[in-house]
C-alpha cells in the first residue's frame, strides 16, 4: 500500500538497531551542522592537549558519517577525512566509555585496516566517545600512536581524554546555539520578505484602480493605484495606447482601442493579461467600464475600474487542473502515465519550471526520475541519480514531511543539498514525500529556476496532486498484484487437476476390479485433499514433516497409530514435496496394512527423519522401517503403489526413494536436497 502517512493500527515496525543508531547519528550531525566546516581554535586546542597529555603523535576529533569519517580537528594526521573502512573510531560508536586497543595488529577488528597494514602503520588507539545530550554517539576524540602500548593509557590520561571528549561536546553545543540564533535571524528575514510579497498579492487582489479615457484625444486619466497595478511610474495621465501596449499579444482582442471606444462597441467587462513593465511579471487584469455620451449621442468618455486578479485566476486554474488531473488519473493504466499526468498538472498549474517524480529503491543506492514535465528551455532530470545527491532533503522527507523552500541559498539546513539543487538550476522547490510501509518510496517535486515565495495554496495544491497520484499508484500496484495472484492460482489449479487425473489413471489401470479401484482412488484423493489442508493451514503455504506423518498415518487407521513410532526434528516442507510425501506415506501405510507389519497384531513401523549436512549441501532423510510382521517376499511385479512410492518427491532436487524388501520388514528411504524440499 502506498500513502504518505500510512499508519494502520496493528502495524508492527521492527527497527534494525544499527540502522536506527545510524539515523540518529546522522540526524545529530546534521543538527550540529559540523561536517565540512573550517578548522576552529576551540577544537584544535582540545586535540593539542590530548596529544600532549597522552604523549601520542596523533590526536583527532572524528565524526562518523555514512561512508566516511571526517576530522574537525587533527594533530599529526594529514587527511581531513578517511573512508569508513579505515575508521577505527567506527568501532567505538557503540561504546559508552573509552575504547582502547593496545595493539591494532592483534585485534581482529583492526588488523586488516590499511592504516595499520600500510603507511602510516598505526599501532595504538584510544578513543573517547562523543555523546550528545540525547545519548547518541556521533564520533570520538581519539589518540593514536605508531607503536603498540601493552598497558594502554594511564588512569590520569584516561580521565583527561574523557573530560576533553565532554569539552568537544560543549564546543558543539555552543556552536549550535550561536548558529541557531543566526538561523532564526535569517529565517525571520525570509519570513518578512515572504509576508511582504504576500501582502502585495493581497493588495493587488483587493486594490482597485480607476481610469477615465477622453475618447477624442485618447488621453487617460488614471489613479495612483491604476499605475501600480499596471506597473507604470506614477502619473495622472497616460495615452491609452501605453496601457494597451502592455497587453499580451494573445489577449489583444479583449481591451478597448480607439476605434471600439469611438463606436461604443468596446466590451463592458473584460479580462486580459499584461506584462508589467516594472518587474516583467505577467498579471491578469479585470476591467469594467461604462461610456458617457455627449448631447448628440456620441461617445465622449469611457470610465471604469481595473483590478489585478492574478491570484484568483491562478486559484481557479489550480482547481481546474486538480479536477482535470483527477479525471485523467482515473483513466491511466500504468504508473508512468500517472506520473506524467501529475507532473504536467503540477508544473502547468503552478507555472513552475519543472515537475516530476523521484523514485527511491530501498535496496539501491540510487534514485530515479521516471518522468518529468519541464517548461520551455528547462532540462529534464529523467534518469538515474545517486542517492547521496540530496541527503538533508531526503532525511526530512523520510519523516513524511512535505518541504517547501523559496530560495535554496538562504536555507541553512539544506547543507550540501544546496549544491545539487543549484547544479540542476533549482532555486525554489516543493517536495512531497510518498511513504510505503513507512519507508520513503518516492518524492513528487516542483522546481523553479528563480526564487519564489510559495503560497500556502500552492503547497496544498502540490500535496493534493500528490495524494491523488499516490492513490492511483497504489491502485495500479494492487491490480498488478491481483493479476499475479490470479495467474498463480490458475497454475496451481491446473497442477492439481493434472495430479488428480494421474491418480485416477493409475488407480484404474492397476486395480483388479472397479470396486478396488474406486476404494484406492478415494483413499488417494482423500490423502491429497488432506495434504492440501495442511498446506493451506501452514504459514505461507508450507507445512511440517511431523504434521504430515501424523495426519497421514492417523488418517489411515487410528488404532494402528500407537504402532507407528514417528520421530524427528521440526522441518518445514514446501507445498509440492508435501503432497508427494503424503502420497508416499499413504501408499507405504496401505501396503503395510495389507501385507506388511501392520497386517498382524504385533508388528510395528518406525519412522525417523533428520537433516544431514555436509560441506556441499544439506539433505532431508526419512526412513520407514517395518518390523514384527510376516516374513517379507519381494513382489513378483511392481504394483501401482510401489511405483507411486518410487516416483519420488515432486519439486525437489537430487531426490531418491528406495524400497528394500528386507526379510524382517520393508524398509523405505527417502532423501532430497533440503533447500528444494523446503522451497515454495
Partner 1 sequence: MAHVTILVVDDEPLIRLDIAYMLEDLGYQTIEASNADEAMQLLAELPHIAAIVTDVDMPGTMDGRQLAMTVSNRWAPCKLIVMSGHRMLTAPDLPSGAVFISKPVPARQLASALAGFGV
- 552: Cβ–Cβ under 8 A, 6 or more apart, which residues? 527, 530, 531, 582, 585, 586, 589
Looking at the Cβ atoms of 130 and 645, the one nearer to partner 1 is 645
CB of 503 to partner 1, least distance (A): 6
Closest listed residue to residue 388, CA positions, set 130, 141, 35: 35
Lookup: cell for 435: 511513504
Q: Is there binding between residue 526 and partner 1 (CB under 8 A)?
A: no
Show the cell assigned to 540: 505461507
Cell numbers 491523488: residue: 468
Does residue 498 interact with partner 1 by CB under 8 A?
yes
Q: In angstroms, what is the minimal distance from the CB of 676 to partner 1?
A: 6
Q: What are phi and psi for residue 670, nearest 5 degrees? A: -115, 130
Output the CA–CA distances (angstroms, integers) from residue 58 to 47, 93, 121, in the order listed: 8, 20, 12
Which range binds partner 1 by CB under 8 A, 279-287, 497-505, 515-523, 602-610? Answer: 497-505
Burial class (CB in 10 A: 0-12, 13-18, 19+), 355: buried
CB 355 within 8 A of CB 347: yes
Cis peptide before 4 (omega within 30 of 0): no
Measured between alpha carbons, how far is residue 454 from residues 81, 180, 304, 401, 435 in Å?
Answer: 38, 24, 33, 16, 23
- Of 315, 651, 667, 669, which lies in the binding site for partner 1, with binding defined by CB under 8 A? 651
- 525 near partner 1 (CB under 8 A): no
Minimum distance, C-beta of residue 531 to partner 1, in the bound complex (Å): 12
Which CB atom, from 128 or from 581, has the smaller least distance to partner 1? 581
Q: How far is the CB of 126 from partner 1 (least distance, A)?
A: 54
* Stretch in the footprint of partner 1 (CB under 8 A) among 333-341, 417-425, 449-457, 490-498: 490-498
Which of 260, 495, 627, 669 is the binder for partner 1 (CB under 8 A)?
495
What part of residues 578-597 is at the interface with partner 1 (CB under 8 A)?
580, 583
Q: Copy the grid coordinates of residue 576.
A: 509440492
Residue 151, classed as helix, strand or coil, is coil
Helix (H, G, I), strand (E, B) or coil at 228: helix
Among 494, 519, 526, 594, binds partner 1 (CB under 8 A): 494
Distance CA 563, CA 544 (A): 21
Binding residue (CB under 8 A) for partner 1 from 243, 455, 655, 678: 655
Site of grid cell 539546513: 413
Which alpha helices (DSSP H) does 538-620 contain, by range?
A: 545-556, 575-594
* Distant-in-sequence, close-in-space partners of 260: CB < 8 Å, separation ≥ 6: 266
Cα separation of 283 and 286, whole Å? 10
Q: Which is nearer to partner 1, 465 or 644 (CB)?
A: 644
Near partner 1 in 167-226, by CB under 8 A: none
Site string for partner 1, 532-571 (x = CB under 8 A): ----------------------------------------
Least distance to partner 1, CB of residue 649, Å: 7
Instruction: Output 20 or 653, the one with its CB closest to partner 1.
Output: 653
Stretch that binds partner 1, among 7-15, 425-433, 437-445, 641-649 (CB under 8 A): 641-649
Using DSSP's 3-state secondary structure scheme, residue 79 falls into coil
Close Cβ partners of 13 (under 8 Å, ≥ 6 residues apart): 438
Q: Is 314 in the site for partner 1 (CB under 8 A)?
A: no
Binding mask 597-636 for partner 1 (x = CB under 8 A): ----------------------------------------
Binding flag, residue 643, partner 1 (CB under 8 A): yes
| Contact yes or no for 445/429 (Cβ under 8 A) | yes
Q: For residues 550 and 270, what is the distance between their CA atoms, to the nearest angstrom?
A: 87
Q: Which stretch binds partner 1 (CB under 8 A): 13-21, 168-176, 495-503, 587-595?
A: 495-503
Residue from 355, 652, 665, 666 binding partner 1 (CB under 8 A): 652
Instruction: Give the C-alpha separation, 358 to 372, whole Å.
Output: 9
Cβ nearer to partner 1, comparing 567 with 643: 643
Among residues 407, 362, 413, 410, the alpha carbon closest in space to that of 391 is found at 413
Q: Quote the least distance from Cβ 495 to partner 1, whole Å.
A: 7
CB of 458 to partner 1, least distance (A): 51
Stretch that binds partner 1, among 99-107, 121-129, 505-513, 606-614 (CB under 8 A): 505-513
Q: Pick the stretch among 251-259, 446-454, 627-635, 646-654 that binds partner 1 (CB under 8 A).
A: 646-654
* Binding-site member from 20, 121, 653, 661 for partner 1 (CB under 8 A): 653
Segment lying near partner 1 (by CB under 8 A), choices 24-32, 397-405, 437-445, 496-504: 496-504
Nearer to partner 1, 403 or 503 (CB): 503
Q: How many residues bind partner 1 (CB under 8 A)?
A: 26
330-333, long-range: CB within 8 Å, 24+ apart, which pairs?
330/472, 332/472, 332/476, 333/476
How near is the Cβ of 643 to partner 1 at its closest, in Å? 6
How far apart, in whole angstroms, are the C-alpha atoms of residue 650 and residue 389? 50
Comparing CB distances to partner 1, the nearer of 309 and 504 is: 504
C-alpha grid cell, residue 99: 575504547
Which of these, 649, 636, 643, 644, lies nearest to 609 by C-alpha position? 649
What DSSP assignment string belongs to 347-369? HHHHT-SEEEEEEE-TTSSEEEE
639 makes contact with partner 1 (CB under 8 A): no
Q: Report the Cα–Cα distance between both ends of the chain, in Å, rounded.
A: 24
Between residue 127 and residue 166, which ones bind partner 1 under the rule CB under 8 A? none
Least distance from partner 1 to the Cβ atom of residue 657, Å: 9
Is residue 506 a contact point for partner 1 (CB under 8 A)? yes
Closest CB to partner 1 among 455 and 655? 655
**Which region among 144-152, 371-379, 390-398, 647-655 touches partner 1 (by CB under 8 A)?**
647-655
Nearer residue to partner 1 within complex by CB, 167 or 495: 495
Stretch that binds partner 1, among 101-109, 129-137, 145-153, 576-584 (CB under 8 A): 576-584
C-beta of residue 346 within 8 angstroms of C-beta of residue 444: yes
CA distance 526 to 547: 16
3-state secondary structure of 495: helix
Shortest CA distance to 560 belongs to which of 607, 598, 606? Answer: 598
Task: Take residue 112 and report the three cell numbers written for it.
Answer: 586488516
Contact residue for partner 1 among 245, 497, 514, 618 (CB under 8 A): 497
Answer for which of 283, 576, 586, 625 binds partner 1 (CB under 8 A) is 576
Task: Map grid coordinates 482597485 to a residue.
Answer: 208
Smallest separation (angstroms) from partner 1 to the CB of 588: 15
Under the criterion CB under 8 A, does residue 489 sit at the interface with partner 1?
Answer: no
Residue 650 within binding range of partner 1, rule CB under 8 A: yes
Q: Is 505 in the site for partner 1 (CB under 8 A)?
A: yes
Q: Is 509 exposed, middle or buried (0-12, 13-18, 19+ CB in 10 A)?
A: exposed
Q: Which of 116, 266, 453, 503 binds partner 1 (CB under 8 A)?
A: 503
Binding site for partner 1 (CB under 8 A): 491, 494-495, 497-499, 501-503, 505-506, 509, 576, 580, 583, 643-644, 647-653, 655, 676
Amino acid at each position: 500500500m502506498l500513502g504518505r502517512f500510512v499508519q494502520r493500527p496493528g502495524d508492527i515496525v521492527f527497527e534494525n538497531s544499527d540502522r536506527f543508531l545510524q539515523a540518529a547519528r546522522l540526524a545529530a550531525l546534521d543538527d550540529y551542522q559540523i561536517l565540512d566546516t573550517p578548522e576552529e581554535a576551540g577544537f584544535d586546542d582540545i586535540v593539542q592537549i590530548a596529544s600532549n597529555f597522552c604523549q601520542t603523535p596523533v590526536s583527532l576529533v572524528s565524526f562518523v558519517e555514512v561512508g566516511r569519517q571526517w576530522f574537525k580537528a587533527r594533530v599529526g594526521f594529514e587527511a581531513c577525512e578517511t573512508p569508513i573502512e579505515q575508521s577505527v573510531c567506527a568501532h567505538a560508536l557503540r561504546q559508552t566509555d573509552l575504547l582502547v586497543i593496545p595493539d591494532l595488529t592483534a585485534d581482529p577488528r583492526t588488523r586488516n585496516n590499511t592504516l595499520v597494514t600500510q603507511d602510516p602503520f598505526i599501532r595504538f588507539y584510544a578513543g573517547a566517545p562523543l555523546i550528545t545530550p540525547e545519548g547518541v554517539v556521533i564520533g570520538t576524540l581519539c589518540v593514536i600512536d605508531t607503536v603498540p602500548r601493552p598497558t594502554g593509557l594511564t588512569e590520569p590520561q584516561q580521565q583527561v581524554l574523557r573530560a576533553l571528549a565532554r569539552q568537544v561536546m560543549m564546543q558543539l553545543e555552543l556552536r549550535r546555539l550561536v548558529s541557531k540564533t543566526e538561523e532564526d535571524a535569517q529565517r525571520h528575514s525570509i519570513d518578512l520578505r515572504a509576508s511582504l510579497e504576500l501582502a502585495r498579492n493581497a493588495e493587488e487582489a483587493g486594490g482597485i484602480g480607476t481610469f477615465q479615457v477622453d475618447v477624442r484625444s485618447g488621453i487617460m486619466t488614471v489613479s495612483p493605484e491604476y499605475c501600480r497595478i499596471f506597473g507604470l511610474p506614477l502619473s495622472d495621465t497616460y495615452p491609452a495606447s501605453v496601457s494597451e501596449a502592455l497587453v499580451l499579444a494573445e489577449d489583444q482582442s479583449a481591451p478597448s482601442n480607439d476605434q471600439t471606444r469611438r463606436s461604443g462597441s468596446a466590451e463592458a467587462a473584460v479580462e486580459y493579461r499584461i506584462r508589467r513593465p516594472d518587474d516583467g511579471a505577467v498579471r491578469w487584469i479585470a476591467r469594467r467600464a461604462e461610456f458617457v455620451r455627449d448631447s448628440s449621442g456620441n461617445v465622449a468618455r469611457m470610465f471604469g475600474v481595473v483590478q489585478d486578479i492574478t491570484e484568483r485566476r491562478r486559484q481557479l486554474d489550480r482547481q481546474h487542473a486538480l479536477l482535470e488531473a483527477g479525471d485523467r488519473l482515473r483513466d491511466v493504466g500504468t504508473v508512468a502515465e500517472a506520473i506524467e499526468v501529475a507532473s504536467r498538472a503540477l508544473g502547468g498549474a503552478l507555472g513552475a519550471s519543472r515537475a516530476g517524480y523521484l523514485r527511491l529503491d530501498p535496496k539501491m543506492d540510487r534514485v530515479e526520475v521516471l518522468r518529468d514535465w519541464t517548461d520551455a528551455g528547462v532540462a529534464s532530470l529523467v534518469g538515474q541519480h545517486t542517492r547521496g545527491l540530496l541527503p538533508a532533503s531526503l532525511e526530512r522527507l523520510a519523516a513524511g514531511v512535505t518541504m517547501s523552500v523559496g530560495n535554496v541559498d538562504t536555507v541553512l539546513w539544506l547543507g550540501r543539498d544546496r549544491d545539487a539543487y543549484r547544479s540542476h538550476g533549482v532555486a525554489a522547490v516543493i517536495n512531497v514525500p510518498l511513504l510505503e510501509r513507512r519507508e520513503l518510496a518516492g518524492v513528487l517535486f516542483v522546481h523553479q529556476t528563480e526564487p519564489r515565495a510559495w503560497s500556502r495554496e500552492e503547497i496544498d495544491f502540490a500535496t493534493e496532486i500528490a495524494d491523488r497520484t499516490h492513490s492511483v499508484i497504489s491502485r495500479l500496484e494492487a491490480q498488478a498484484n491481483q493479476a499475479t495472484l490470479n495467474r498463480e492460482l490458475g497454475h496451481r489449479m491446473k497442477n492439481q487437476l493434472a495430479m488428480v487425473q494421474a491418480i485416477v489413471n493409475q488407480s484404474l489401470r492397476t486395480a483388479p476390479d472397479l470396486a478396488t479401484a474406486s476404494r484406492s482412488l478415494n483413499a488417494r484423493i482423500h490423502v491429497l485433499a488432506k495434504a492440501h489442508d495442511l498446506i493451506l493451514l501452514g504459514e505461507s503455504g508450507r507445512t511440517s514433516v511431523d504434521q504430515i506423518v501424523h495426519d497421514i498415518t492417523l488418517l489411515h487407521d487410528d488404532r494402528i497409530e500407537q504402532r507407528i513410532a514417528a520421530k524427528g526434528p521440526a522441518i518445514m516442507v514446501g507445498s509440492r514435496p508435501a503432497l508427494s510425501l503424503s502420497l508416499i506415506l499413504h501408499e507405504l501405510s496401505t501396503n503395510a496394512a495389507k501385507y506388511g507389519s501392520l497386517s498382524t497384531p504385533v508388528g510395528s513401523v518406525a519412522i525417523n527423519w533428520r537433516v544431514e549436512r555436509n560441506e556441499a549441501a544439506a539433505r532431508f532423510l526419512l526412513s520407514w522401517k517395518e518390523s514384527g510382521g510376516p516374513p517379507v517376499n519381494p513382489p513378483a511385479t511392481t504394483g501401482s503403489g510401489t511405483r507411486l512410492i518410487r516416483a519420488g518427491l515432486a519439486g525437489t532436487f537430487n531426490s531418491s526413494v528406495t524400497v528394500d524388501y528386507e526379510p524382517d520388514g520393508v524398509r523405505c528411504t527417502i532423501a532430497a536436497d533440503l533447500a528444494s524440499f523446503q522451497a515454495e
